[in-house]
Amino acid sequence: MMPGLNQRNSFVTSCRLWPGIIAILLISFFLAGITRHGFAQVLPEVESMVEKAEGFRNSDPAKAVAIAGNALEMAGKASHKPSLARVHRYIGVLHFMTGNLEKARLHFDSAYALYKKLDDKKGVAASLNNIGVVYQEIGEYDKALSYFNNSISLKLALGDSAGATSGMINTGTIYSYRGENEKAAGMFREVIRISTKTQDTS
């Protein structure tokens, strides 16, 4: 059971689970496009190994982690920062899915540091969101909000309205956890406004 859930009633508990599910889908969405749309280019052999790991993500997570570890070693030997960042983010996703949140955060932190060095703003924004998701899951909401807000600002500056609104949904959800319902409603209205303007039906 995740921290704090035993102190919530069944309705709030049900609501609490949805952002985690959404977070996994969002992280998967970001990873799927990591070699395109402005992300730094990954070595083909490293990308191929990550894709192999992806085939085991749901059926055998331990095997997926092992294969991704080999990809990380390959990227390290080549001293290729974009590939290292890609694999760190992917391994972070695997650990997040299996509930090892501390390891997930460490890998997301590593990806963030690498994207900063590369001046890959899309990678930085996505990594900030990933770290925020971890803090959201463990109930450290102030930290989560800080990471989400930084990610949202950067995504808006980059013209990534879909990514920004995804982060806004997370921040609105945190406000609702804390009983700050006016802030939550305001955030969700802003999501609707931006999504309507960009015709983002999801």
First to last CA, the chain: 29
Distance CA 70, CA 122 (A): 25
- pLDDT of 168 > 90? The answer is yes
80 and 117 Cβ atoms separated by less than 8 Å: no
3 and 139 Cβ atoms separated by less than 8 Å: yes
- pLDDT of 38 > 90? The answer is no
Quick: pLDDT tens for 77-106.
Answer: 999 999 999 999 999 999 999 999 999 999
Distance CA 170, CA 131 (A): 12
**What's the pLDDT band for 202 if we cut at 50, 70, 90?**
confident
- pLDDT of 73 > 70? The answer is yes
pTM: 0.79
The b-or-e profile of 1-15 (16+ CB within 10 A means b, else e) is eeeeeeeeeeeeeee
**What's the pLDDT band for 201 if we cut at 50, 70, 90?**
confident
Structure tokens at 76: 């390290």
Alpha-carbon distances, residue 45 vs 4, 27, 107, 162 (angstroms)? 42, 22, 20, 30
Residue 35 has phi, psi (to 5 degrees) of -95, 5
- pLDDT of 111 > 50? The answer is yes
> In terms of residues, how long is the chain?
202
pLDDT of 101: 97
